[in-house]
Amino acid sequence: MTKEELMKKAIELSKENVANGGGPFGAVIATKEGEIIATGVNRVTSSNDPTAHAEVNAIRAAAARLGTFNLAGNVIYTSCEPCPMCLGAIYWARLDKIYYGNTKEDAKHIGFDDSFIYDELALDAADRKLPSESLLSNEAIAAFQKWTATENKIEY
């Protein structure tokens, strides 16, 4: 499939999801040659899972299908510019490129405004609206020390 056909598939998924009571988001993960590996739609309300965005669902399905957490060599087509969570997941999955339809500004105009998260990420933890504080860091560091000393770990 061409990149335009793959984007049309992501858009089609987003429209079908609205018709089925879900959010207006769809995603397709494909090889660089245009073979679909996995798809995903927004299932936040149907699954009561705030992380069940289309991109995350597509990444989960692709990783399961390929049997790996590293999706390098593949690309994602998403009906909308990814939110901060999905963008992070795309980077962690090591996808090679993102193609998107609607922009984050388009999403903001229909009530999906992630700008406050982008704004929060730019702040020091102490200055964010969601209170956070370090707790038991002297104990927590033990897991990091154990990880560092492990010779047969699978790095990701």
> Quick check: is 55 catalytic?
yes
Catalytic residue (one of 5, 12, 55, 151) = 55
Four-CA torsion 89, 55, 38, 14, nearest 10 degrees: 180
What residues act catalytically? 55
